[in-house]
Amino acid sequence: MTVLIDPPFWPAHGTVFSHLVSDASLEELHAFAAAAGIPERAFDGDHYDVAARHFERLVAAGATPVGGKELVRRLAASGLRIPARERPSKIVPALRERWSRLLPEDPELGEDLLSRWGEPHRNYHSRVHLLNVLEALDLLLPGSGLPVERHRPLLLAAWFHDAVYQGVPGQDEEDSARLAERGLGALSVHGALAAGEAAEVARLVRLTTGHDPAPDDLTGQLLCDADLSVLAWPVQRYARYLASVRADYAHVSDADFARGRAAVVEQLLALEPLFHSPLAQELWLDAARGNLRGELEAFRRAESR
């Protein structure tokens, strides 16, 4: 592992700041920062912001000083850099624009959902995940054969599927489905949604509990495929996903988390098929199974120590 730090340059709070990053692993970056006494609140997705007064001490502790451009290059090459479009300043306008095209009749509902997805206790189940699911559907929908009139319930289900998130599997999905029923019910009454659309959205949201839609449920298959597309991310981006999932369960001990996560991975590997649509299988199946098997093997190695 190499921990990198650029010169103090970025002004804020009456001083200037450096960026502290790893070009190999977020886990090791967090371990380095913790050992150096850098608080968790200084972490910003893919780096720690550290005040100038810490620069020499961090270099003495083992951080390698590099120029700002080199730090960005190494971070990007590692796969750990968060893309600019996933930063808060970019992602909120992008999601707001998507909502305005999807359901312009109710901007307030869109703002409520954006607020929910941005709750501070969320790590993986965040606006980034919502955007990733919507972008996965952008890939899957054009050649899916799903009639155009069924696109809107599917996209609304993506917006609602983790709109309630307290880290309680099953209950979160049920509460999100009920939120959809309440939030969309009035729109059905006033004609902004077609009859049955609100109920279809709630049904789809409930499907994300087990990701096991019926063989003839094309809409459900597309939502589940998009929701699980994260499993096929490149190795370092997948590591970032795992770190954010762990952060969502920070209240759980390492041993309990490992047992619970291993059970989830085994359940996902047992799904047949893991992805349903031909395009999702082509794009994501091999990489997803490789990531899941690697994760499970890591748990087994840890248990044998």
Q: Which fold has domain 86-231?
A: Hypothetical protein af1432 (1.10.3210)
Spans in the chain with pLDDT lower than 70 = 1, 84, 88-89, 189-191
Q: What is the pLDDT of residue 76?
A: 82
Q: What is the pLDDT of residue 189?
A: 58
Q: What is the pLDDT of residue 282?
A: 96
205, 160 in Cβ contact below 8 A?
Answer: yes
The full set of domain ranges for the chain reads 3-81, 86-231, 235-304
180, 201 in Cβ contact below 8 A?
Answer: yes
Residue (of 228, 204, 227) closest to 214 by Cα position: 204
> DSSP class of residue 283?
I
Q: What is the pLDDT of residue 16?
A: 94
Q: What is the pLDDT of residue 288?
A: 97
Q: What is the pLDDT of residue 28?
A: 86
226, 282 in Cβ contact below 8 A?
Answer: no
Q: What is the pLDDT of residue 140?
A: 97
* Residue in the block written with tokens 């029923």: 181
Question: Using CA atoms, how far apart are residues 214 and 220, in angstroms rounded to an integer?
Answer: 8
Question: Tens digit of pLDDT for each residue in 133-159?
Answer: 999 999 999 999 999 999 999 999 999
Q: What is the pLDDT of residue 110?
A: 96
